[in-house]
Amino acid sequence: MSRAAPQLLVSAGEPSGDLHGARVVEALRARFPEATIDAVGGPQMAAAGARVRFPMERLSAFGAFEILETIPAHLSLYRALRRDFAAHRYDLVIPVDYPGFHLRVAQAAHAAGIRVLYYIAPQLWAWYPARARRFREAVDRFAVILPFEPDFFGRLGIRADFVGHPLVDRGPWLPRGEARARLGIPKGARVLGIFPGSRKGEVRRHWPLFRSIAFRLLTEGRWDWAIVAGTPVGAYPDAGPIQVLRQDPQLIMAAADAALVKSGTTTLEAALADTPMAVAYMTHRWTYEIARLVVSVPWISLVNLVAEREVVPEFIRRPLRRDDLCDTVRALLDPGNPRTVEQRAGLAEVRRRLGPPGAAERVAAIAAELLQQ
């Protein structure tokens, strides 16, 4: 690095990346007070002190037609970044997740002789290991958030450093009693948390199943309080006695005795909250059949992948076994049930494997190493 103050670019393409990128910006700002930090991002990175040159709102979309509409914005941004790289505007580029677009950004930066530190690596271990060659040629270092990823990428010739999972940095979870008090739940109530997803399609697919399981357990007298972690625009018809709360889902997770969750990051949140869970994921039949051919890991939940064994039961096969899913949730609502006790021991192991707080600071430390090379 020839400049006294580094010129950095942190890039995110969706809200989660904006959040994780913001923490990296804060850590970079603490380590390099004189640095210029530009961003492809949103309000989180702007609040952290980055200069948002390219707002990401034009990039984020869900659904086939909505994604097609963002192609011109992606092309325009890519061309602008490539011009910046050719002019050596930056000393280091830090893409955050969002692998489809960021692979091309990394390739353009590498071609211009700019170092690339990729934070939150694409899940090549699950879907497409052969694609790793393209990342190996374009990325100098990976900062990964799952403990098994350094070994996976290392076997493919990519240096990857485990920095810990950023969820750990959200701080300690509320004790169950305090979370219930904030939600107005009486002491001694048995609480079921329901997490059907955050996207409209996920809610539409999972809500009827999750609702039917909750209703069956209610008729058996298994719970006193059930809460859905609702989204601002999600539809949850015929909820009956199930409460739909469109507020902090972490509070709901902390309050629950057991949770019924769709696969995804929510499973790690449940592990951090020490909330036993059953994991289900519903998709179209042909999507499922295609996934069976291309998925290269034995589990879909991040909890099991981190533990490298089955800690939480998964219900993904078609046809989905509703009776078995109901039996599992029923058992987990009983804190003394051996299945609940065993799962809680596994969740404790997962929490240890996710690493200590400070993921963003470790990313900044790797950035400092690359800037000195």
Residue 14 DSSP SS3: coil
70 and 153, same domain (yes or no):
yes
Residue 37 DSSP SS3: strand
What is the residue-averaged pLDDT of the chain? 89
262 and 146, same domain (yes or no):
no
What is the predicted pLDDT for the residue at 288?
47
In a domain, 27, yes or no: yes
97 and 208, same domain (yes or no):
no
In a domain, 300, yes or no: yes
In a domain, 1, yes or no: no
256 and 115, same domain (yes or no):
no
Provide the domain count of the chain: 2
What is the predicted pLDDT for the residue at 70?
63
283/56: higher pLDDT? 56
Contact 123, 98 (CB under 8 A): no
83 and 177, same domain (yes or no):
no
56 and 158, same domain (yes or no):
yes
Q: Flag whether pLDDT at 96 surpasses 80.
A: yes
224 and 342, same domain (yes or no):
yes
63 pLDDT tier (thresholds 50, 70, 90)? very low
In a domain, 2, yes or no: no
Residue 81 CB partners (closer than 8 Å, separation 6+): 9, 40, 105, 108, 109
* CA distances (Å), origin 174, targets 19, 104, 181, 240, 243: 21, 41, 11, 28, 20
Alpha helices in the chain (DSSP H): 15-31, 43-48, 64-69, 71-86, 99-111, 132-138, 149-155, 176-183, 200-219, 249-255, 265-272, 285-294, 302-307, 322-332, 338-353, 359-372
Q: pLDDT tens-digit profile of 157-167?
A: 889 999 999 99
In a domain, 188, yes or no: yes
146 and 255, same domain (yes or no):
no
In a domain, 69, yes or no: yes
140 and 14, same domain (yes or no):
yes
For the chain, give the percent of residues with pLDDT over 90: 70
182 and 253, same domain (yes or no):
yes
Q: Give long-range contacts, CB 8 A cutoff, 24+ apart: 98-105.
A: 98/11, 98/12, 98/13, 98/14, 98/17, 101/13, 101/59, 101/74, 102/11, 102/13, 103/134, 103/135, 103/138, 104/78, 105/11, 105/78, 105/81
205 pLDDT tier (thresholds 50, 70, 90)? confident
Q: Which structural domain range is residue 364 located in?
A: 7-169+357-372
208 and 340, same domain (yes or no):
yes
Crossing angle of helices 359-372 and 15-31, rounded to 10°: 60
Task: Give 123-168 as a DSSP string.
Answer: -TTTS-GGGHHHHHHH-SEEEESSTTHHHHHHHTT--EEE---GGG
What is the CATH number for 127? 3.40.50.2000
Question: In whole angstroms, what separates CA 306 from the centre of its chain?
Answer: 13
Over residues 249-274, mean pLDDT: 95
151 and 208, same domain (yes or no):
no
- pTM, full prediction: 0.88
In a domain, 36, yes or no: yes
In a domain, 121, yes or no: yes
Q: Phi first, then psi: what are they for 292, rounded to 5°?
A: -60, -30
Q: 54-58, 139-143, 281-285 — which one is most confidently predicted on average?
A: 139-143
